[in-house]
Amino acid sequence: MAITTNDLKNGMVLDLDGKLVQVVEFQHVKPGKGPAFVRTKIRNVRTGGVVERTFRAGEKVERVTIDKREMQYLYRDGDDYVFMDNASYEQMNVGSSALADAASYLVDGATVVLQMHGDEIVGTDLPAAVELSVVETEPGIQGDRVSGATKPATMETGLVVQVPLFVNVGDVLKIDTRSGEYITRA
Protein backbone atom coordinates (compact mmCIF):
# COMPACT_ATOMS: atom_id res chain seq x y z
CA MET A 1 0.00 0.00 0.00
CA ALA A 2 1.57 3.29 -1.10
CA ILE A 3 1.51 6.22 1.31
CA THR A 4 3.23 9.62 1.28
CA THR A 5 6.05 10.63 3.59
CA ASN A 6 3.65 13.13 5.19
CA ASP A 7 1.73 10.15 6.66
CA LEU A 8 4.73 8.51 8.40
CA LYS A 9 4.35 7.41 12.03
CA ASN A 10 6.83 5.89 14.51
CA GLY A 11 6.85 2.07 14.32
CA MET A 12 5.52 1.97 10.74
CA VAL A 13 7.21 -0.66 8.52
CA LEU A 14 8.15 0.31 4.95
CA ASP A 15 9.61 -1.43 1.91
CA LEU A 16 12.49 0.74 0.66
CA ASP A 17 14.55 -0.62 -2.23
CA GLY A 18 13.53 -4.20 -1.37
CA LYS A 19 14.53 -3.83 2.29
CA LEU A 20 12.09 -3.88 5.21
CA VAL A 21 12.70 -0.85 7.44
CA GLN A 22 10.89 0.45 10.52
CA VAL A 23 10.49 4.17 11.23
CA VAL A 24 12.22 4.87 14.55
CA GLU A 25 11.72 8.62 14.47
CA PHE A 26 10.65 11.25 11.95
CA GLN A 27 10.53 15.02 11.71
CA HIS A 28 8.66 17.13 9.17
CA VAL A 29 10.80 20.18 8.32
CA LYS A 30 9.58 23.32 6.53
CA PRO A 31 12.58 25.59 5.98
CA GLY A 32 12.16 29.30 5.22
CA LYS A 33 13.49 28.78 1.70
CA GLY A 34 12.92 25.75 -0.47
CA PRO A 35 10.50 22.84 -0.30
CA ALA A 36 9.54 20.94 2.84
CA PHE A 37 11.17 17.60 3.62
CA VAL A 38 10.89 14.74 6.10
CA ARG A 39 13.99 13.73 8.08
CA THR A 40 13.75 10.14 9.35
CA LYS A 41 15.72 7.63 11.38
CA ILE A 42 14.96 4.13 10.10
CA ARG A 43 16.01 0.67 11.33
CA ASN A 44 16.58 -2.25 8.98
CA VAL A 45 14.28 -4.98 10.33
CA ARG A 46 16.51 -7.86 9.21
CA THR A 47 19.95 -6.53 10.22
CA GLY A 48 19.04 -4.07 12.99
CA GLY A 49 21.17 -1.28 11.46
CA VAL A 50 19.88 2.27 11.96
CA VAL A 51 20.36 4.96 9.30
CA GLU A 52 19.13 8.49 8.78
CA ARG A 53 17.38 9.29 5.53
CA THR A 54 15.73 12.42 4.18
CA PHE A 55 12.65 12.32 1.92
CA ARG A 56 10.92 15.07 -0.04
CA ALA A 57 7.56 15.97 1.49
CA GLY A 58 4.79 14.09 -0.31
CA GLU A 59 7.15 11.44 -1.74
CA LYS A 60 5.46 8.05 -2.11
CA VAL A 61 6.77 5.07 -0.12
CA GLU A 62 5.48 1.51 0.14
CA ARG A 63 3.96 0.52 3.50
CA VAL A 64 4.18 -3.13 4.57
CA THR A 65 1.49 -4.88 6.59
CA ILE A 66 2.85 -6.69 9.63
CA ASP A 67 0.82 -9.55 11.12
CA LYS A 68 1.13 -9.80 14.91
CA ARG A 69 0.61 -13.31 16.29
CA GLU A 70 0.45 -14.20 19.97
CA MET A 71 2.63 -17.25 20.56
CA GLN A 72 3.61 -19.29 23.59
CA TYR A 73 7.25 -20.33 23.96
CA LEU A 74 7.36 -24.10 24.58
CA TYR A 75 10.97 -25.31 24.58
CA ARG A 76 14.35 -25.12 22.90
CA ASP A 77 15.22 -27.66 20.19
CA GLY A 78 18.95 -27.39 19.39
CA ASP A 79 19.48 -23.89 17.95
CA ASP A 80 15.74 -23.39 17.34
CA TYR A 81 13.04 -22.13 19.68
CA VAL A 82 9.65 -23.85 19.44
CA PHE A 83 6.54 -21.68 19.69
CA MET A 84 2.83 -22.55 19.64
CA ASP A 85 0.30 -20.22 18.01
CA ASN A 86 -2.34 -19.44 20.66
CA ALA A 87 -5.09 -19.22 18.02
CA SER A 88 -4.46 -22.27 15.81
CA TYR A 89 -2.28 -24.39 18.18
CA GLU A 90 0.24 -24.94 15.37
CA GLN A 91 3.87 -25.29 16.39
CA MET A 92 6.59 -23.24 14.73
CA ASN A 93 10.40 -23.55 14.92
CA VAL A 94 12.17 -20.19 15.04
CA GLY A 95 15.91 -19.68 14.66
CA SER A 96 17.80 -17.72 17.31
CA SER A 97 18.88 -15.14 14.69
CA ALA A 98 15.22 -14.20 14.07
CA LEU A 99 14.67 -13.56 17.79
CA ALA A 100 17.90 -11.58 18.33
CA ASP A 101 18.06 -10.23 21.94
CA ALA A 102 14.53 -11.44 22.79
CA ALA A 103 15.88 -15.00 23.22
CA SER A 104 17.61 -13.90 26.46
CA TYR A 105 14.23 -13.24 28.11
CA LEU A 106 12.34 -16.40 27.09
CA VAL A 107 11.35 -18.93 29.75
CA ASP A 108 9.15 -21.99 29.18
CA GLY A 109 5.49 -20.99 28.93
CA ALA A 110 6.15 -17.29 28.24
CA THR A 111 3.74 -15.50 25.90
CA VAL A 112 5.35 -13.42 23.15
CA VAL A 113 3.88 -11.48 20.23
CA LEU A 114 5.80 -12.30 17.04
CA GLN A 115 5.65 -9.70 14.24
CA MET A 116 5.49 -11.50 10.91
CA HIS A 117 5.74 -10.47 7.26
CA GLY A 118 4.48 -13.49 5.33
CA ASP A 119 6.34 -16.42 6.93
CA GLU A 120 9.32 -14.32 8.04
CA ILE A 121 9.64 -13.08 11.64
CA VAL A 122 10.64 -9.42 11.61
CA GLY A 123 10.34 -8.58 15.32
CA THR A 124 9.13 -9.54 18.76
CA ASP A 125 7.01 -7.74 21.36
CA LEU A 126 8.03 -8.75 24.87
CA PRO A 127 6.41 -7.64 28.12
CA ALA A 128 8.15 -4.63 29.74
CA ALA A 129 9.64 -6.87 32.45
CA VAL A 130 10.16 -10.60 32.97
CA GLU A 131 10.89 -12.67 36.06
CA LEU A 132 14.03 -14.83 35.84
CA SER A 133 15.83 -16.86 38.49
CA VAL A 134 19.53 -16.51 39.29
CA VAL A 135 21.57 -19.66 38.55
CA GLU A 136 25.06 -18.30 39.21
CA THR A 137 26.49 -15.37 41.19
CA GLU A 138 28.96 -14.72 43.99
CA PRO A 139 27.40 -15.26 47.41
CA GLY A 140 26.22 -12.23 49.35
CA ILE A 141 28.32 -11.58 52.46
CA GLN A 142 26.71 -10.44 55.72
CA GLY A 143 27.38 -6.73 56.27
CA ASP A 144 28.48 -6.18 52.67
CA ARG A 145 25.84 -3.57 51.87
CA VAL A 146 27.72 -0.81 50.06
CA SER A 147 25.18 1.52 48.47
CA GLY A 148 25.10 1.17 44.68
CA ALA A 149 27.64 -1.67 44.47
CA THR A 150 26.81 -4.42 41.97
CA LYS A 151 28.02 -7.84 40.87
CA PRO A 152 27.31 -9.96 37.77
CA ALA A 153 24.61 -12.64 37.96
CA THR A 154 23.79 -15.27 35.34
CA MET A 155 20.07 -15.83 34.86
CA GLU A 156 18.34 -19.12 33.87
CA THR A 157 18.31 -18.06 30.18
CA GLY A 158 22.06 -17.31 30.12
CA LEU A 159 21.56 -13.53 30.37
CA VAL A 160 24.19 -11.80 32.56
CA VAL A 161 22.83 -8.87 34.59
CA GLN A 162 24.47 -6.50 37.08
CA VAL A 163 22.64 -6.95 40.42
CA PRO A 164 23.02 -5.59 43.98
CA LEU A 165 25.35 -7.43 46.37
CA PHE A 166 22.50 -8.99 48.43
CA VAL A 167 21.21 -11.14 45.53
CA ASN A 168 21.91 -14.88 45.88
CA VAL A 169 21.58 -18.01 43.71
CA GLY A 170 17.92 -19.08 43.49
CA ASP A 171 16.48 -15.57 43.87
CA VAL A 172 13.82 -14.61 41.33
CA LEU A 173 14.46 -11.15 39.87
CA LYS A 174 12.43 -8.78 37.73
CA ILE A 175 14.46 -7.74 34.66
CA ASP A 176 13.62 -4.86 32.27
CA THR A 177 13.42 -6.32 28.71
CA ARG A 178 14.11 -2.97 27.03
CA SER A 179 17.41 -2.24 28.79
CA GLY A 180 18.36 -5.64 30.27
CA GLU A 181 18.75 -4.12 33.75
CA TYR A 182 17.77 -5.40 37.20
CA ILE A 183 14.57 -3.79 38.56
CA THR A 184 13.78 -5.59 41.84
CA ARG A 185 13.42 -8.98 43.51
CA ALA A 186 10.14 -10.71 42.67
Q: What is the pLDDT of residues 93-108, one digit of tens each?
A: 888 777 777 888 888 8
pTM higher than 0.75 for the full model? no
| Contact present, 144 and 99 (Cβ < 8 Å) | no
How do the domains of the chain map onto residue ranges? 2-63, 67-125, 129-185
One pLDDT digit (tens) per residue for the chain, 186 residues:
788 888 888 888 888 888 888 888 999 988 888 899 999 999 888 777 889 999 888 889 888 888 888 999 898 888 888 999 888 888 888 887 777 778 888 888 888 888 888 888 877 888 888 888 999 988 866 666 666 778 889 998 888 998 888 888 888 999 988 888 888 888
CA dist 75 and 77 (Å) reads 7
Residues 6+ apart with CB under 8 A from 23: 8, 9, 10, 11, 12, 13, 14, 40, 41, 42
**For domain 129-185, which CATH number applies: 3.30.2130.30, 3.20.20.80, 2.40.50.140, 3.10.100.10?**
2.40.50.140
CA dist 35 and 57 (Å) reads 8
**Helix, coil or strand: residue 122:** strand
| Contact present, 163 and 134 (Cβ < 8 Å) | yes
- CA angle 77/82/84 to nearest 5° reads 155
Q: Which of 108, 161, 101, 96 is nearest to 135 (CA)?
A: 161
Q: Mark residue 96 as left, alpha or beta (left: phi above 0; alpha: psi -120 to 50; beta: remaining).
A: alpha
CA dist 169 and 8 (Å) reads 47
CA-CA distances (angstroms) from residue 46 to 9, 16, 155, 170, 175?
A: 20, 13, 27, 36, 26
- 66: exposed, middle or buried (Cβ count in 10 Å: 0-12, 13-18, 19+): middle
Domain 2-63 shares a fold with domain 129-185: no
CA dist 125 and 46 (Å) reads 15
**For domain 67-125, which CATH number applies: 2.40.50.140, 1.20.120.450, 3.40.50.300, 3.10.310.10?**
2.40.50.140
Q: Which CATH class is domain 2-63?
A: mainly beta
